Amino acid sequence: MKIRNAFVNITSPGRNFVTLKIETDEGIYGLGDGTLNGRELAVASYLSDHLIPCLIGRDPFQTEDIWQYLYRGAYWRRGPVTMASIAAVDVALWDIKGKALNTPVYNLLGGRSRQGVMVYAHANGKDITHAIEDVERHRQLGYRAIRVQSGFSGNKSTYGVPKATGRYEPAERGLPSEYDWATEPYLRHVPKLFERVRDHFGEDLHLLHDCHHRLTPIEAAGLGKELEPYHLFWIEDPVPAEFEEGYRIIREHTTTPIATGEVFNSIWDAHDLIRNQWIDYIRMTIVHGGGITHLKKVADFAALYHVRTGFHGATDLSPVTMAAALHFNTAINNFGIQEHMPHSEETDAVFSHNYTFKDGYMFPGDAPGLGVDLDENLAAQYPYQRAYLPINRKLDGTLADW
Ligand code: EZ4
Ligand code: CO
């Protein structure tokens, strides 16, 4: 079998997605996600202008060789644009391989290691009372693990809470919005939030929280310590993680588990975090981490250090990535949890898929390959719209992490 052609689809059914479709001379095709929130067209160009010409005529079964060719062959390694582009190719090839062998992708990665993939939902509210109502709503939907974020006095807005009612979707059309940020009221608020939530729901629910890179190591260490009585499943991205050793300080002070890595794109972003056991969960997922081929190596390396996966699963990761993650999570031993932020109806209509949700678990389905398809006619009705993630400024105007 040979790769005959490949093209990039850009569509915006509520939000932007970049999808690579690779076609073979035997009529089988595969899909890969290359969506990089706020920088979509850079990946589209990387694929169309630089990778696709190198793929024509290659054997799509050679996932390892093609990955090495694209990674080493670029000379300029790593970075989110490069690695999302490589991921799009890699995932499309695994999809082709599964279809050609008539088996779901999880069978190519080790087979079923568990019956279902535990996912966590997002609950939020403008204050603690509304957040508790939203946790209850998600509990009734069957979720066993819930991330909780709420607004608080002292900041006009915060990460994870929508400005109006409706879904939380961080990317906004047009140029980047600017929000304000003050750490002190946040640090006072979060322990009160989890005291109330634990008190209301008891111990029989996994609770998670995303700090979204806004703290310093010593602030995060203090927060982790204060949250210990409420037995969180994890706190996520307590600090920006370019400086991996910052996590040592957090680790020395608290037993609250730590997850990080949704913005990582290579094992070399997480190597020290894992081998020093400074984190418990690695969040770098398939689209941003160079695809299934690289993530399998990352997961196997992490397993040696008791680090489990907790893949990013926000709406900016397309249903193709969700499917790939569910196959992956089904097959590996050191799976921890999977984030689940459901896509809009428009997105699900463009990307029909075989994966399902029941009682807090998700299942990849048994269709050959990934079990996702792209309705190109419907996709064409939603042209690309420029959109960005917001930025944060401290109250005096200093630019801060969002
Ligand atoms: O802000 O995916 O845990 N989930 C998150 C997400 C990220 C967005 C950025 O594109 O932190 O909501
Ligand atoms: Co996050």
Domains and CATH numbers, the chain: 3-104 (3.30.390.10), 108-366 (3.20.20.120)
Query: Is residue 212 annotated as part of the catalytic site, yes or no?
Result: yes
Query: Does 21 contact ligand 1 (Cβ within 6 A)?
Result: no
Q: Are 19 and 92 in contact (CB under 8 A)?
A: no
Under DSSP, is residue 281 helix (H, G, I), strand (E, B) or coil? strand
Q: Are 274 and 299 in contact (CB under 8 A)?
A: no
Query: What is residue 158's predicted lDDT score, i.e. its pLDDT?
Result: 85
Q: Are 341 and 313 in contact (CB under 8 A)?
A: yes
Name the one residue in this structure whose structure tokens are 């066993």: 144
User: Alpha-carbon distance 32 to 325, whole Å?
Assistant: 12
Ligand 1, residues 311, 316, 317: which to mutate, most atoms within 8 A of Cβ? 316
Distance (Å) from CA 240 to ligand 1 centroid? 13
Q: Which helix (H) or strand (E) holds 220?
A: helix 217-227
Residues with Cβ within 5 Å of ion ligand 2? Answer: 210, 262
Closest C-alpha to ligand 1, atom 10: 37
Ligand 1, residues 158, 209, 212: which to mutate, most atoms within 8 A of Cβ? 212
Pick the catalytic residue: 46, 106, 159, 247? Answer: 159
Distance (Å) from CA 171 to ligand 2 centroid? 13
Query: Does 261 contact ligand 1 (Cβ within 6 A)?
Result: no
Q: String of b and e for 239-263 (b: at least 16 CB within 10 Å)?
A: bebeebebbebbbeebebbbbbbbb
Residue numbers of the chain with a pLDDT score lower than 70: 165
Closest C-alpha to ligand 1, atom 8: 314
Distance (Å) from CA 160 to ligand 1 centroid? 8
Query: Does 209 contact ligand 1 (Cβ within 6 A)?
Result: no
CA 355 vs. chain centroid, Å, equals: 17
Determine the residue type at 264.
Answer: F
9, burial (CB in 10 Å: exposed 0-12, middle 13-18, buried 19+): middle
User: Alpha-carbon distance 309 to 306, whole Å?
Assistant: 10
